[in-house]
Amino acid sequence: MYNPKSLKAEEFIDDAEVLASLEYAEQNKHNRELIEQILEKAAPKKTGRGTECAGLTHREASVLLACDIPDLVEKMYQLANDIKQAFYGNRIVMFAPLYLSNYCVNQCVYCPYHYQNKSIPRKKLTQEEVKQEVIALQDMGHKRLAIEAGEDPVNNPIEYILECIKTIYSIQHKNGAIRRVNVNIAATTVENYKKLHDAGIGTYILFQETYHKESYEKLHPAGPKHNYAYHTEAMDRAMEGGIDDVGLGVLFGLELYKYEFAALLMHAEHLEAVHGVGPHTISVPRLKRADDIDPDAFDNGIDDDTFAKIVACIRIAVPYTGMIISTRESEQCRNKVLDLGVSQISGGSRTSVGGYAGYKADERPHDTEQFDVSDQRSLDEVVKWLMDLGYIPSFCTACYREGRTGDRFMSLCKTGQILNCCHPNALMTLKEFLEDYASPATKETGEKLIREELEKIPNEKARKLAKEYIENIHLGKRDFRF
Ligand code: SAM
């Protein structure tokens, strides 16, 4: 029986409720009056506290996703863009993945790291290699990483992951520093989540892959990840362990996207109902070609237009949740979804173990790679491209370092203080990038952008201080934040 407050996976992701929501969406997909009401409910509203958005239930959002009336779809895209502007402005946060180890005991049929793949070389970084990778990432200009590892209690125990996090945070190379380490490792125990929390991680990210239990069990035929309930309930354990920024996601292409979409929002509603705070981020990965993996072997691939609609509907349904897109997607596809709600993207990524150190920007090792990277541009190129499109690439990590996690981050969003806080933080971290790592063309574009954007800080005191900090960065000081 469906119960968002239950701690049992099969009750908060109740299959019957997902199916009933899809049925309701199908019946109402041409109900103009209802769709207009839903769009109105989700629109940003001025309140005594600032700008607020009500969000949508999984049923309401499913109606939007099912709707194919052209003018209403256009309205959805406009609304997604308005919500994005209200809470995220034109800032796009940058990050890179760091693959620690591809040893894995699971048998995920879509992932080349699966245990039975004997053609892929297995590799695990030593602490010295972690250091070299981090230096290479710092030299590109990265400040925020997402660490990735297969699940293997012998080769990648929690102690190994913790040691890597410690190494990553300890490295100061020239003006470089990794200031936030997000962690994407397999579901684990409350005790291990506590250890990750104590190690100072940012977001704990775990993709559900698919919420459809029967498919999930077929796609994960053996290994610890086979256990649907243990995997689906991981975020509750993470929150119990003290991690209040968690990142959800499904791997689009495995199951029917409408099912995944409704269930993903039910998961978000569950976290809100039980822990009082929804997911910090939602990722939208799509299945990609990889060693031993042919995406065409899976029936549920989605085209770029459907993908864009999913992004827009997520943005409308959970307005305060960041949305992440990786280099799995091409430049063209990324361009489209940036406008519709994506707030974080990776740049210059390598998805192989040890893929950064010792390789030139245009060289990429494929032997231990997890999936093909579509967007192969360097970080400098992505930064310049974003600015040319009118976005502010941000390397900010301030919220979590200032303790603004979980619902404290949400209240910053709601009270509209973002323009006095996130906006200057984005400009200051961009300035650091321009001073330390940018090419001359990127620097020129960025300096002009910073000058213009500084004037948009509404609070006079904050504006004056931000200008002072930016001048100080030019003089060689680093790491200012609001
Ligand atoms: N091993 C951890 C786990 O099981 O959750 C997480 C790390 S794994 C390196 C990160 C994610 O990559 C997986 O959760 C999966 O969604 C995604 N992935 C796996 N194979 C992929 C493929 N062929 N194309 C795109 N993404 C893939």
Which ligand 1 atom minimizes the distance to the CA of 328? 25
Would you place residue 273 in the very low, low, confident or very high pLDDT band (cuts 50, 70, 90)?
Answer: very high
Distance 150 CA to ligand 1 centre (A): 9
Burial 234-250 (b: 16+ CB within 10 A, else e): bbbbbbebebbbbbbbb
Q: Average model confidence (pLDDT) for the chain?
A: 95
pLDDT, tens digit, 9 for 90 and up, residues 113-122: 999 999 999 9
Would you place residue 186 in the very low, low, confident or very high pLDDT band (cuts 50, 70, 90)?
Answer: very high
Cβ of 309 below 6 Å from ligand 1: no
Tell me which of 365 and 279 has the higher pLDDT.
279
Distance 65 CA to ligand 1 centre (A): 25
Distance 253 CA to ligand 1 centre (A): 13
pLDDT attached to residue 199: 98
pLDDT attached to residue 407: 80
The neighbour count for residue 480, using CB atoms within 10 Å, is: 19
- The DSSP symbol for 320 reads T
Would you place residue 416 in the very low, low, confident or very high pLDDT band (cuts 50, 70, 90)?
Answer: low
pLDDT attached to residue 335: 94
Given a cut of 90, whether residue 224 has pLDDT beyond it is yes
Burial 153-178 (b: 16+ CB within 10 A, else e): eebbebebbbebbebbbebeeebbbb
How far is residue 84's CA from residue 104's CA, in Å, rounded to a whole number?
A: 38
Cβ of 368 below 6 Å from ligand 1: no
Given a cut of 80, whether residue 434 has pLDDT beyond it is yes
If you take atom 21 of ligand 1, which residue's CA is the nearest one? Answer: 111
Cβ of 352 below 6 Å from ligand 1: no
Q: What is the dihedral of CA 444, 446, 448, 449, to 10 degrees?
A: 160
Would you place residue 157 in the very low, low, confident or very high pLDDT band (cuts 50, 70, 90)?
Answer: very high
Cβ of 186 below 6 Å from ligand 1: yes
pLDDT attached to residue 359: 86
Distance 111 CA to ligand 1 centre (A): 6
C-alpha closest to that of 341 among 359, 373, 319: 319
Given a cut of 90, whether residue 59 has pLDDT beyond it is yes
Instruction: Report, as an integer, the average pLDDT of 186-201.
Output: 98
Given a cut of 80, whether residue 414 has pLDDT beyond it is no
Would you place residue 418 in the very low, low, confident or very high pLDDT band (cuts 50, 70, 90)?
Answer: confident
